[in-house]
Structure 1
């Protein structure tokens, strides 16, 4: 089967997740086109048997390239197998309020774009203070201090559970 894997990445973790997804699907005999959503203008999803979109959550919203693509292609996406890899640090934790926030962000995405993903998998992202500007570093320190008490706030840390992502891909494949 031929799949589109398209992503929006701010600090690189979603790109890493998208590349992992591509590699995993290729290893399982599928053909993949990997596209950053900022370069997806004019891309026709009807060329594919299924679409995987990946983006991260920032301040309660997914990145604009995702929302623009989903809104532009919602009619077609809603008729085909789709998987949304929703990346966030909240997905690394077990806080009920954080998970309600993830549900709200997903509902807001669907309401704004009219795209209703066939399946959603929440994927834990990464904390990368070495990649952040000063303002982002301060905001992210507050988030990670709440999320992962006792962690070294000066060190990059990846929270992505790669085996869980692989299992989600296996569960989604048509």
Structure 2
């Protein structure tokens, strides 16, 4: 089996939750899997596969994601790699693939790194878990995109079957 590193950049915890789920799936198949946040990422040398996951906040991935890729590009290009993006936009059927998701397309425009596997997952909408500013910004965006705006809304849009399929793709790399 493989030695795998899963690195995530998460704001409200959903990307971390997805990364942990992927770790459990890959570990159950006999892989040696380490999962950590971007700011705790170890050197990539000892890993055969590297998976990077990042959430969207205010329409962008964390700039530290791009810094990490730039700093580790040479090593990333020698490994089997994957990238997943987590956003509320991916809740929509027309924007829930790597090819149709605007944030994934923006990611690909900003970096020369080309992982073997790309995917997007819907995030988690929990207005009560956000700061007042984030709550208002996200409610406004949801109003524009015809999503739920009730202040007590709590909806998990992550398709866990899709996460499992992604883990299977990673296993097969």
Verify same fold: TM over 0.5: yes
> Shift of the alpha carbon at 1:67?
1.6
Q: Equivalents in 2 of 1:153, 1:124: separation in Å?
A: 19
Q: Which residue of 1 aligns with 2:153?
A: 155
> Shift of the alpha carbon at 1:36?
0.6
Q: Which residue of 2 aligns with 1:83?
A: 82
Q: Equivalents in 2 of 1:95, 1:123: separation in Å?
A: 13
> Shift of the alpha carbon at 1:49?
1.0
Name the structure where helix makes up a greater proportion of residues. Answer: 1
> Shift of the alpha carbon at 1:163?
0.8
Tell me whether 1:47 sits opposite 2:10 in the alignment.
Answer: no
Structural mapping, 1:1-174, within 5 Å: 1-40=2-41, 43-95=42-94, 99=100, 101-110=102-111, 114-147=112-145, 149=147, 152-173=150-171, 174=173
Comparing 73-82 with 3-12, greater Cα deviation is found at: 73-82
Count of aligned pairs: 168
Runs of 5+ unmatched residues, structure 2: none
Q: Equivalents in 1 of 2:142, 2:94: separation in Å?
A: 13
Secondary structure at the counterpart of residue 45 of structure 1: coil
> Shift of the alpha carbon at 1:148?
5.6
Superposed CA RMSD: 2.1
8 Å CA contact retained: 1:78, 1:118: no
Q: Equivalents in 1 of 2:88, 2:165: separation in Å?
A: 19
8 Å CA contact retained: 2:142, 2:148: no
Secondary structure at the counterpart of residue 12 of structure 2: coil
TM-score (norm 1): 0.86
Q: Equivalents in 1 of 2:47, 2:39: separation in Å?
A: 19
Secondary structure at the counterpart of residue 154 of structure 1: coil
